[in-house]
Amino acid sequence: MKKIIYIISLFVSSVLYTSCDALDLAPEDYFGSGNYWNNEAQVEGFMYGMHSQLRGNYNMFYCLGELRGGTQRVGSSSQNTSLDYAILRTNTLSQDNPGFTNWFGLYSPIMQVNHFIQKVENECAFLSEADRKTYLGQAYGLRALYYFMLYKTYGGVPLITDVKVLEGGKISADALYTERSTPETILKFIKSDLEASELNFGNNVTIDRAMWTKYATLMLKAEVYMWSAKVTTGDHQATGNSDLAIAQTALQPLINQFSLLDNFSEVFSKKANDEIIFAIRFKDGEATNWAGPFIYYGNIFEGQRYGRDGKLMQDTLDLKGTVGQFLHEYKKALWDSYDDEDMRRDATFMDHYGSAQKEGFGIAMKKGIGSVNSNNQRIFDTDIIVYRYADVLLMMAEIENALSGKCANYVNEVRKRAYGKNWHPQFAYTDGSYADNELTILHERDKEFVWEGKRWFDVVRMHDANGKSLAFSVAANYPNNETPDERVPLIKESEAHKLLWPIDVNTLNNDPKLEQTPGYDK
Protein backbone atom coordinates (compact mmCIF):
# COMPACT_ATOMS: atom_id res chain seq x y z
CA MET A 1 0.00 0.00 0.00
CA LYS A 2 1.30 3.44 -0.91
CA LYS A 3 2.09 5.57 2.15
CA ILE A 4 2.41 9.33 1.99
CA ILE A 5 4.86 10.96 4.36
CA TYR A 6 4.61 14.71 4.74
CA ILE A 7 7.96 16.41 4.61
CA ILE A 8 7.18 19.24 7.00
CA SER A 9 10.67 20.67 7.41
CA LEU A 10 13.13 21.70 4.74
CA PHE A 11 16.48 21.00 6.36
CA VAL A 12 17.89 17.49 6.24
CA SER A 13 20.97 15.91 7.69
CA SER A 14 19.57 12.46 8.16
CA VAL A 15 16.23 11.66 6.60
CA LEU A 16 15.16 8.80 8.81
CA TYR A 17 17.00 9.77 12.00
CA THR A 18 15.15 12.73 13.41
CA SER A 19 15.59 15.13 16.29
CA CYS A 20 14.10 18.42 17.39
CA ASP A 21 16.47 20.36 15.14
CA ALA A 22 16.69 18.01 12.16
CA LEU A 23 14.11 16.90 9.63
CA ASP A 24 10.77 16.64 11.38
CA LEU A 25 8.86 13.76 9.82
CA ALA A 26 5.23 13.35 10.69
CA PRO A 27 3.97 9.83 11.39
CA GLU A 28 3.17 7.82 8.29
CA ASP A 29 -0.12 9.00 6.95
CA TYR A 30 -2.74 7.05 5.06
CA PHE A 31 -4.80 9.96 3.72
CA GLY A 32 -3.42 9.20 0.27
CA SER A 33 -4.41 5.56 0.33
CA GLY A 34 -7.76 3.96 -0.42
CA ASN A 35 -8.80 4.73 3.16
CA TYR A 36 -9.42 8.42 2.50
CA TRP A 37 -10.70 10.94 -0.05
CA ASN A 38 -13.72 8.75 -0.76
CA ASN A 39 -16.57 11.10 0.17
CA GLU A 40 -17.35 14.70 1.00
CA ALA A 41 -17.43 14.10 4.75
CA GLN A 42 -13.74 13.23 4.58
CA VAL A 43 -12.93 16.32 2.53
CA GLU A 44 -14.88 18.47 4.97
CA GLY A 45 -13.08 16.78 7.87
CA PHE A 46 -9.71 17.56 6.32
CA MET A 47 -10.73 21.21 5.93
CA TYR A 48 -11.74 21.36 9.60
CA GLY A 49 -8.40 19.74 10.38
CA MET A 50 -6.54 22.49 8.55
CA HIS A 51 -8.42 25.10 10.56
CA SER A 52 -7.54 23.18 13.71
CA GLN A 53 -3.90 23.22 12.63
CA LEU A 54 -4.14 26.99 12.17
CA ARG A 55 -5.42 27.16 15.74
CA GLY A 56 -2.39 25.13 16.78
CA ASN A 57 -0.16 27.74 15.13
CA TYR A 58 -2.12 30.83 16.18
CA ASN A 59 0.77 32.17 18.28
CA MET A 60 2.49 33.06 14.99
CA PHE A 61 0.43 36.26 14.92
CA TYR A 62 1.71 37.46 18.29
CA CYS A 63 5.25 36.03 18.10
CA LEU A 64 6.03 37.18 14.57
CA GLY A 65 3.72 40.19 14.36
CA GLU A 66 3.87 41.90 17.76
CA LEU A 67 6.78 40.84 19.98
CA ARG A 68 9.31 43.10 18.28
CA GLY A 69 6.96 46.09 18.16
CA GLY A 70 8.19 47.99 21.23
CA THR A 71 5.00 48.00 23.30
CA GLN A 72 6.17 45.59 26.02
CA ARG A 73 8.50 45.73 28.98
CA VAL A 74 11.87 43.98 28.93
CA GLY A 75 13.72 42.31 31.80
CA SER A 76 11.64 42.22 34.97
CA SER A 77 7.93 42.79 35.43
CA SER A 78 6.19 45.02 37.97
CA GLN A 79 5.89 41.88 40.11
CA ASN A 80 9.63 41.14 39.79
CA THR A 81 9.15 38.12 37.57
CA SER A 82 11.45 37.53 34.61
CA LEU A 83 9.84 38.50 31.33
CA ASP A 84 10.16 36.28 28.27
CA TYR A 85 11.58 36.93 24.76
CA ALA A 86 14.16 39.61 25.70
CA ILE A 87 16.11 39.14 22.45
CA LEU A 88 13.03 39.79 20.35
CA ARG A 89 11.74 42.70 22.41
CA THR A 90 15.12 44.43 22.19
CA ASN A 91 15.60 43.53 18.52
CA THR A 92 19.02 42.04 19.16
CA LEU A 93 18.55 39.10 16.83
CA SER A 94 21.46 37.27 15.23
CA GLN A 95 21.86 33.93 13.52
CA ASP A 96 23.04 32.57 16.88
CA ASN A 97 20.03 34.13 18.61
CA PRO A 98 17.30 34.06 15.94
CA GLY A 99 14.30 34.06 18.26
CA PHE A 100 12.65 31.08 16.56
CA THR A 101 13.85 28.13 14.53
CA ASN A 102 12.69 25.98 11.63
CA TRP A 103 10.71 28.74 9.88
CA PHE A 104 8.45 28.84 12.96
CA GLY A 105 7.20 25.41 11.93
CA LEU A 106 4.94 26.84 9.21
CA TYR A 107 5.89 24.36 6.51
CA SER A 108 3.95 21.66 8.32
CA PRO A 109 0.54 23.30 7.74
CA ILE A 110 1.66 24.38 4.27
CA MET A 111 2.27 20.73 3.38
CA GLN A 112 -1.21 19.81 4.56
CA VAL A 113 -2.76 22.56 2.43
CA ASN A 114 -0.66 21.49 -0.57
CA HIS A 115 -1.97 17.95 -0.20
CA PHE A 116 -5.57 19.15 0.09
CA ILE A 117 -5.30 21.29 -3.05
CA GLN A 118 -3.69 18.44 -4.97
CA LYS A 119 -6.46 16.01 -4.05
CA VAL A 120 -9.46 18.32 -4.41
CA GLU A 121 -8.30 19.82 -7.70
CA ASN A 122 -7.44 16.53 -9.38
CA GLU A 123 -9.58 13.87 -7.70
CA CYS A 124 -12.70 13.75 -5.51
CA ALA A 125 -15.14 13.37 -8.43
CA PHE A 126 -17.97 12.99 -5.90
CA LEU A 127 -17.82 16.73 -5.09
CA SER A 128 -20.21 19.13 -6.78
CA GLU A 129 -18.48 21.89 -8.70
CA ALA A 130 -19.78 24.50 -6.25
CA ASP A 131 -18.45 22.60 -3.21
CA ARG A 132 -15.11 21.93 -4.92
CA LYS A 133 -14.65 25.63 -5.61
CA THR A 134 -15.58 26.60 -2.05
CA TYR A 135 -13.05 24.17 -0.59
CA LEU A 136 -10.36 25.40 -2.98
CA GLY A 137 -11.18 29.03 -2.16
CA GLN A 138 -10.53 28.23 1.49
CA ALA A 139 -7.37 26.23 0.83
CA TYR A 140 -5.70 28.79 -1.43
CA GLY A 141 -6.54 31.51 1.11
CA LEU A 142 -4.99 29.55 3.98
CA ARG A 143 -1.82 28.84 1.98
CA ALA A 144 -1.51 32.51 1.06
CA LEU A 145 -1.84 33.40 4.76
CA TYR A 146 1.01 31.08 5.79
CA TYR A 147 3.31 32.21 2.99
CA PHE A 148 2.57 35.86 3.72
CA MET A 149 3.57 35.34 7.36
CA LEU A 150 6.82 33.80 6.12
CA TYR A 151 7.36 36.57 3.57
CA LYS A 152 6.90 39.41 6.08
CA THR A 153 9.23 37.61 8.48
CA TYR A 154 12.02 36.25 6.26
CA GLY A 155 11.55 37.75 2.80
CA GLY A 156 12.48 35.08 0.28
CA VAL A 157 11.76 31.57 1.57
CA PRO A 158 11.70 28.05 0.05
CA LEU A 159 8.70 27.74 -2.23
CA ILE A 160 7.03 24.34 -1.79
CA THR A 161 3.77 23.74 -3.63
CA ASP A 162 3.50 19.94 -3.65
CA VAL A 163 3.76 16.99 -1.28
CA LYS A 164 6.67 14.59 -1.19
CA VAL A 165 5.32 11.10 -1.90
CA LEU A 166 7.60 8.30 -0.83
CA GLU A 167 7.37 4.71 -1.96
CA GLY A 168 8.41 2.42 0.87
CA GLY A 169 9.45 5.35 3.07
CA LYS A 170 12.85 5.90 1.45
CA ILE A 171 14.26 8.97 -0.24
CA SER A 172 17.71 10.50 -0.48
CA ALA A 173 18.37 13.62 1.58
CA ASP A 174 19.43 15.79 -1.37
CA ALA A 175 15.99 15.40 -2.93
CA LEU A 176 14.59 17.41 -0.05
CA TYR A 177 17.05 20.31 -0.11
CA THR A 178 15.35 23.54 -1.26
CA GLU A 179 16.90 26.95 -1.82
CA ARG A 180 15.20 30.22 -0.92
CA SER A 181 13.19 31.79 -3.72
CA THR A 182 13.56 35.53 -4.22
CA PRO A 183 11.20 37.86 -2.34
CA GLU A 184 9.59 38.91 -5.63
CA THR A 185 8.92 35.27 -6.53
CA ILE A 186 7.28 34.59 -3.18
CA LEU A 187 5.16 37.72 -3.32
CA LYS A 188 3.95 36.90 -6.83
CA PHE A 189 3.08 33.39 -5.64
CA ILE A 190 1.06 34.79 -2.72
CA LYS A 191 -0.81 37.10 -5.08
CA SER A 192 -1.54 34.19 -7.44
CA ASP A 193 -2.91 32.11 -4.55
CA LEU A 194 -5.15 35.02 -3.54
CA GLU A 195 -6.39 35.30 -7.11
CA ALA A 196 -7.11 31.54 -7.15
CA SER A 197 -8.94 31.82 -3.83
CA GLU A 198 -11.04 34.75 -4.99
CA LEU A 199 -11.89 33.12 -8.32
CA ASN A 200 -12.91 29.85 -6.69
CA PHE A 201 -15.14 31.58 -4.17
CA GLY A 202 -16.76 33.51 -7.00
CA ASN A 203 -20.08 34.91 -5.76
CA ASN A 204 -19.99 32.83 -2.58
CA VAL A 205 -19.93 35.51 0.11
CA THR A 206 -21.17 33.38 3.00
CA ILE A 207 -20.32 34.80 6.43
CA ASP A 208 -18.79 32.17 8.71
CA ARG A 209 -16.63 33.92 11.26
CA ALA A 210 -14.75 30.79 12.37
CA MET A 211 -13.95 29.42 8.89
CA TRP A 212 -11.98 30.96 6.04
CA THR A 213 -14.34 32.77 3.65
CA LYS A 214 -14.11 35.10 0.68
CA TYR A 215 -14.18 38.04 3.10
CA ALA A 216 -11.06 36.68 4.82
CA THR A 217 -9.41 36.36 1.42
CA LEU A 218 -10.28 39.99 0.63
CA MET A 219 -8.82 41.15 3.95
CA LEU A 220 -5.62 39.22 3.31
CA LYS A 221 -5.49 40.54 -0.26
CA ALA A 222 -5.71 44.12 0.99
CA GLU A 223 -2.96 43.46 3.52
CA VAL A 224 -0.70 41.82 0.92
CA TYR A 225 -1.11 44.60 -1.63
CA MET A 226 -0.56 47.31 1.01
CA TRP A 227 2.68 45.56 1.94
CA SER A 228 3.65 45.21 -1.70
CA ALA A 229 2.95 48.91 -2.26
CA LYS A 230 4.91 50.22 0.72
CA VAL A 231 7.70 47.76 1.61
CA THR A 232 10.81 47.09 -0.46
CA THR A 233 12.23 43.64 0.27
CA GLY A 234 15.25 42.32 -1.62
CA ASP A 235 14.45 42.32 -5.33
CA HIS A 236 10.88 43.50 -4.71
CA GLN A 237 10.63 47.26 -5.07
CA ALA A 238 7.65 48.90 -3.38
CA THR A 239 5.02 49.44 -6.08
CA GLY A 240 3.21 52.46 -4.65
CA ASN A 241 -0.20 53.65 -5.80
CA SER A 242 -1.04 50.84 -8.22
CA ASP A 243 -1.08 48.17 -5.52
CA LEU A 244 -2.66 50.54 -3.00
CA ALA A 245 -5.57 50.94 -5.39
CA ILE A 246 -5.95 47.14 -5.57
CA ALA A 247 -5.92 46.97 -1.76
CA GLN A 248 -8.59 49.66 -1.60
CA THR A 249 -10.79 47.78 -4.08
CA ALA A 250 -10.39 44.57 -2.05
CA LEU A 251 -11.70 46.31 1.07
CA GLN A 252 -14.73 47.93 -0.54
CA PRO A 253 -17.03 44.85 -0.30
CA LEU A 254 -16.45 44.73 3.47
CA ILE A 255 -17.56 48.31 4.08
CA ASN A 256 -20.90 48.18 5.91
CA GLN A 257 -21.07 44.40 5.43
CA PHE A 258 -19.59 44.22 8.92
CA SER A 259 -19.88 46.80 11.69
CA LEU A 260 -18.24 48.07 14.85
CA LEU A 261 -19.86 46.93 18.08
CA ASP A 262 -21.01 49.75 20.32
CA ASN A 263 -19.07 48.34 23.28
CA PHE A 264 -15.37 47.68 22.61
CA SER A 265 -15.05 45.05 25.34
CA GLU A 266 -17.80 42.94 23.77
CA VAL A 267 -15.66 42.40 20.68
CA PHE A 268 -13.71 39.87 22.74
CA SER A 269 -16.37 38.59 25.14
CA LYS A 270 -19.09 37.87 22.54
CA LYS A 271 -18.16 35.16 20.06
CA ALA A 272 -19.08 35.47 16.38
CA ASN A 273 -20.21 39.06 16.78
CA ASP A 274 -20.92 41.46 13.91
CA GLU A 275 -17.41 42.98 13.96
CA ILE A 276 -15.60 39.67 13.44
CA ILE A 277 -14.53 38.80 9.89
CA PHE A 278 -12.35 35.81 10.76
CA ALA A 279 -11.41 34.44 14.17
CA ILE A 280 -9.78 31.27 15.47
CA ARG A 281 -12.30 29.56 17.73
CA PHE A 282 -11.47 28.37 21.26
CA LYS A 283 -13.78 26.37 23.48
CA ASP A 284 -13.87 24.88 26.97
CA GLY A 285 -12.83 21.24 26.81
CA GLU A 286 -11.37 21.67 23.33
CA ALA A 287 -8.63 24.31 23.26
CA THR A 288 -7.69 27.44 25.19
CA ASN A 289 -5.52 30.45 24.42
CA TRP A 290 -2.36 31.56 26.25
CA ALA A 291 -3.59 34.84 27.75
CA GLY A 292 -2.79 33.76 31.31
CA PRO A 293 0.90 34.82 31.36
CA PHE A 294 -0.14 38.36 30.31
CA ILE A 295 -2.28 38.99 33.40
CA TYR A 296 -0.85 38.33 36.88
CA TYR A 297 0.28 35.48 39.10
CA GLY A 298 -1.90 35.23 42.19
CA ASN A 299 0.73 34.34 44.80
CA ILE A 300 2.69 37.54 44.15
CA PHE A 301 -0.31 39.71 43.35
CA GLU A 302 -3.15 39.09 45.76
CA GLY A 303 -2.88 41.20 48.89
CA GLN A 304 0.38 42.75 47.64
CA ARG A 305 -0.63 45.09 44.80
CA TYR A 306 -2.82 48.19 45.10
CA GLY A 307 -5.63 49.51 42.93
CA ARG A 308 -6.34 53.07 41.83
CA ASP A 309 -8.34 53.55 45.01
CA GLY A 310 -5.25 52.87 47.14
CA LYS A 311 -6.65 49.59 48.49
CA LEU A 312 -4.99 46.19 48.32
CA MET A 313 -6.26 44.01 45.51
CA GLN A 314 -7.18 40.36 45.70
CA ASP A 315 -8.03 38.11 42.75
CA THR A 316 -9.62 41.09 41.04
CA LEU A 317 -10.09 39.42 37.64
CA ASP A 318 -11.30 36.15 39.14
CA LEU A 319 -8.47 34.05 37.68
CA LYS A 320 -9.02 31.34 40.31
CA GLY A 321 -5.35 30.40 40.46
CA THR A 322 -5.12 29.44 36.79
CA VAL A 323 -1.96 31.47 36.04
CA GLY A 324 1.32 29.88 37.05
CA GLN A 325 3.68 32.38 35.40
CA PHE A 326 3.68 36.08 34.59
CA LEU A 327 5.89 36.47 31.50
CA HIS A 328 4.53 39.37 29.44
CA GLU A 329 3.76 42.94 30.50
CA TYR A 330 2.98 45.99 28.39
CA LYS A 331 4.73 49.33 28.92
CA LYS A 332 3.42 52.19 31.00
CA ALA A 333 4.00 54.50 28.02
CA LEU A 334 1.43 52.55 26.02
CA TRP A 335 -1.06 52.87 28.90
CA ASP A 336 -0.32 56.61 29.12
CA SER A 337 -1.05 57.05 25.40
CA TYR A 338 -4.79 56.50 26.03
CA ASP A 339 -6.98 59.39 27.10
CA ASP A 340 -8.81 58.77 30.38
CA GLU A 341 -12.06 58.92 28.42
CA ASP A 342 -10.96 56.27 25.92
CA MET A 343 -12.85 53.16 27.03
CA ARG A 344 -10.43 50.86 25.19
CA ARG A 345 -7.86 51.38 27.94
CA ASP A 346 -9.83 49.82 30.78
CA ALA A 347 -11.30 47.19 28.48
CA THR A 348 -7.78 46.14 27.47
CA PHE A 349 -5.79 46.63 30.68
CA MET A 350 -6.06 46.69 34.46
CA ASP A 351 -3.52 48.94 36.17
CA HIS A 352 -2.10 48.13 39.61
CA TYR A 353 0.56 49.59 41.89
CA GLY A 354 3.21 48.70 44.43
CA SER A 355 1.91 51.14 47.01
CA ALA A 356 -1.23 53.05 47.98
CA GLN A 357 0.51 56.17 46.62
CA LYS A 358 0.51 54.65 43.10
CA GLU A 359 4.20 53.90 42.97
CA GLY A 360 5.49 50.90 41.05
CA PHE A 361 3.06 50.89 38.13
CA GLY A 362 2.01 47.51 36.72
CA ILE A 363 -0.42 46.38 34.08
CA ALA A 364 -2.48 43.27 33.39
CA MET A 365 -3.83 42.51 29.89
CA LYS A 366 -7.54 41.62 29.96
CA LYS A 367 -8.42 41.00 26.30
CA GLY A 368 -8.01 37.23 26.27
CA ILE A 369 -9.30 36.54 29.75
CA GLY A 370 -12.07 34.16 28.65
CA SER A 371 -14.89 33.05 30.93
CA VAL A 372 -15.78 31.11 34.06
CA ASN A 373 -17.37 27.77 33.18
CA SER A 374 -20.14 25.79 34.88
CA ASN A 375 -17.54 24.20 37.19
CA ASN A 376 -16.52 27.65 38.43
CA GLN A 377 -13.17 27.41 36.65
CA ARG A 378 -11.50 30.20 34.71
CA ILE A 379 -11.21 29.10 31.06
CA PHE A 380 -9.17 31.12 28.58
CA ASP A 381 -11.57 30.53 25.72
CA THR A 382 -11.51 33.98 24.10
CA ASP A 383 -11.23 33.58 20.33
CA ILE A 384 -8.10 34.86 18.59
CA ILE A 385 -9.28 37.49 16.14
CA VAL A 386 -7.38 37.55 12.86
CA TYR A 387 -9.53 40.15 11.06
CA ARG A 388 -12.27 42.49 12.29
CA TYR A 389 -14.02 45.57 10.99
CA ALA A 390 -11.92 48.12 12.90
CA ASP A 391 -8.98 46.84 10.86
CA VAL A 392 -10.91 47.50 7.63
CA LEU A 393 -11.44 51.13 8.66
CA LEU A 394 -7.84 51.77 9.71
CA MET A 395 -6.47 50.03 6.62
CA MET A 396 -8.69 52.29 4.51
CA ALA A 397 -7.35 55.26 6.47
CA GLU A 398 -3.78 54.25 5.66
CA ILE A 399 -4.57 53.74 1.97
CA GLU A 400 -6.41 57.04 1.72
CA ASN A 401 -3.53 58.82 3.41
CA ALA A 402 -1.16 57.54 0.73
CA LEU A 403 -3.50 58.18 -2.20
CA SER A 404 -5.24 61.42 -1.26
CA GLY A 405 -3.98 62.63 2.09
CA LYS A 406 -7.46 62.25 3.60
CA CYS A 407 -7.89 59.73 6.41
CA ALA A 408 -9.65 61.51 9.30
CA ASN A 409 -13.13 60.15 8.63
CA TYR A 410 -11.98 56.54 9.00
CA VAL A 411 -9.87 57.32 12.09
CA ASN A 412 -12.75 59.14 13.74
CA GLU A 413 -15.17 56.31 13.07
CA VAL A 414 -12.93 54.07 15.17
CA ARG A 415 -12.40 56.75 17.80
CA LYS A 416 -16.10 57.44 18.28
CA ARG A 417 -16.65 53.82 19.25
CA ALA A 418 -13.60 53.95 21.52
CA TYR A 419 -14.89 56.96 23.47
CA GLY A 420 -18.57 55.99 23.39
CA LYS A 421 -20.59 58.16 25.73
CA ASN A 422 -17.42 60.18 26.44
CA TRP A 423 -17.12 61.30 22.82
CA HIS A 424 -16.52 65.01 22.31
CA PRO A 425 -15.40 66.87 19.18
CA GLN A 426 -12.12 67.63 20.93
CA PHE A 427 -11.15 63.98 20.44
CA ALA A 428 -11.72 64.11 16.67
CA TYR A 429 -8.72 63.95 14.37
CA THR A 430 -8.21 66.52 11.62
CA ASP A 431 -6.17 65.58 8.57
CA GLY A 432 -2.57 66.75 8.66
CA SER A 433 0.55 66.02 6.65
CA TYR A 434 1.24 62.55 5.27
CA ALA A 435 3.69 61.84 8.11
CA ASP A 436 1.33 63.18 10.79
CA ASN A 437 -1.53 61.09 9.44
CA GLU A 438 0.62 57.99 9.23
CA LEU A 439 1.78 58.31 12.83
CA THR A 440 -1.77 59.00 14.01
CA ILE A 441 -3.06 55.88 12.25
CA LEU A 442 -0.23 53.83 13.77
CA HIS A 443 -1.00 54.99 17.31
CA GLU A 444 -4.71 54.39 16.76
CA ARG A 445 -3.86 50.84 15.71
CA ASP A 446 -1.63 50.50 18.78
CA LYS A 447 -4.55 51.24 21.10
CA GLU A 448 -7.07 49.21 19.13
CA PHE A 449 -5.12 46.01 18.42
CA VAL A 450 -3.14 45.19 21.58
CA TRP A 451 -2.35 41.43 21.63
CA GLU A 452 -3.77 40.97 18.13
CA GLY A 453 -0.40 40.45 16.43
CA LYS A 454 -0.11 43.58 14.30
CA ARG A 455 2.25 46.13 15.86
CA TRP A 456 5.64 44.98 14.47
CA PHE A 457 4.26 44.52 10.98
CA ASP A 458 2.61 47.96 11.25
CA VAL A 459 5.83 49.82 12.04
CA VAL A 460 7.73 47.98 9.30
CA ARG A 461 5.06 48.84 6.69
CA MET A 462 4.28 52.44 7.64
CA HIS A 463 6.39 55.48 6.74
CA ASP A 464 7.80 58.73 8.07
CA ALA A 465 7.97 61.98 6.07
CA ASN A 466 10.96 60.67 4.10
CA GLY A 467 9.28 57.42 3.15
CA LYS A 468 11.36 55.39 5.62
CA SER A 469 9.95 52.63 7.77
CA LEU A 470 8.61 53.73 11.16
CA ALA A 471 10.74 50.94 12.64
CA PHE A 472 13.54 53.55 12.40
CA SER A 473 11.44 56.33 13.96
CA VAL A 474 11.88 57.54 17.52
CA ALA A 475 8.35 58.94 17.49
CA ALA A 476 6.89 55.53 16.66
CA ASN A 477 8.47 53.74 19.62
CA TYR A 478 7.45 53.70 23.28
CA PRO A 479 10.07 54.38 25.99
CA ASN A 480 10.79 51.81 28.66
CA ASN A 481 9.26 51.99 32.13
CA GLU A 482 12.71 52.30 33.68
CA THR A 483 13.90 55.09 31.33
CA PRO A 484 10.74 57.02 30.39
CA ASP A 485 12.69 60.02 29.04
CA GLU A 486 14.93 57.95 26.77
CA ARG A 487 13.53 57.80 23.24
CA VAL A 488 15.15 55.47 20.72
CA PRO A 489 13.94 53.79 17.53
CA LEU A 490 13.08 50.10 17.48
CA ILE A 491 16.06 49.48 15.22
CA LYS A 492 18.77 51.73 13.78
CA GLU A 493 18.91 52.47 10.08
CA SER A 494 22.41 50.99 10.09
CA GLU A 495 20.77 47.69 11.10
CA ALA A 496 18.08 47.74 8.43
CA HIS A 497 18.66 44.03 7.79
CA LYS A 498 16.80 43.43 11.07
CA LEU A 499 13.53 44.30 9.35
CA LEU A 500 13.74 40.61 8.41
CA TRP A 501 14.60 37.70 10.68
CA PRO A 502 17.65 35.42 10.53
CA ILE A 503 17.56 31.70 9.85
CA ASP A 504 18.81 29.63 12.76
CA VAL A 505 22.20 27.92 12.40
CA ASN A 506 20.85 24.37 12.54
CA THR A 507 18.50 25.02 9.64
CA LEU A 508 21.37 26.46 7.61
CA ASN A 509 23.74 23.63 8.47
CA ASN A 510 21.22 20.95 7.59
CA ASP A 511 20.43 22.25 4.11
CA PRO A 512 23.42 23.24 1.93
CA LYS A 513 21.15 25.05 -0.54
CA LEU A 514 20.02 27.61 2.02
CA GLU A 515 21.64 31.02 2.44
CA GLN A 516 21.36 33.29 5.46
CA THR A 517 19.10 36.34 5.39
CA PRO A 518 21.25 39.20 4.01
CA GLY A 519 22.95 41.19 6.74
CA TYR A 520 23.11 38.42 9.34
CA ASP A 521 26.04 36.65 7.70
CA LYS A 522 28.47 39.48 8.43
Predicted pLDDT at 2: 31
Predicted pLDDT at 338: 98
| Cα(55)–Cα(514) distance, integer angstroms | 29
**3-class SS of residue 178:** coil
pTM over 0.85: yes
- Answer whether 194's CB lies under 8 Å from 31's CB: no
Distance of CA 389 to the CA centre of its chain: 16
Predicted pLDDT at 522: 65
Predicted pLDDT at 289: 96
The list of the chain residues with pLDDT below 50 reads 1-33, 166-167, 169
Predicted pLDDT at 163: 82
Q: Cα Rg for the chain, rounded, in angstroms?
A: 23
Predicted pLDDT at 485: 76
3-state SS of 51-70 is HHHHHHCCHHHHHHHCHHHC
Amino acid at position 248, single letter: Q
Q: Residues 375-417: pLDDT tens digits?
A: 999 999 999 999 999 999 999 999 999 999 899 999 999 999 9
Between the CA of residue 306 and those of 150, 300, 315, what are the distances in Å?
Answer: 43, 12, 12
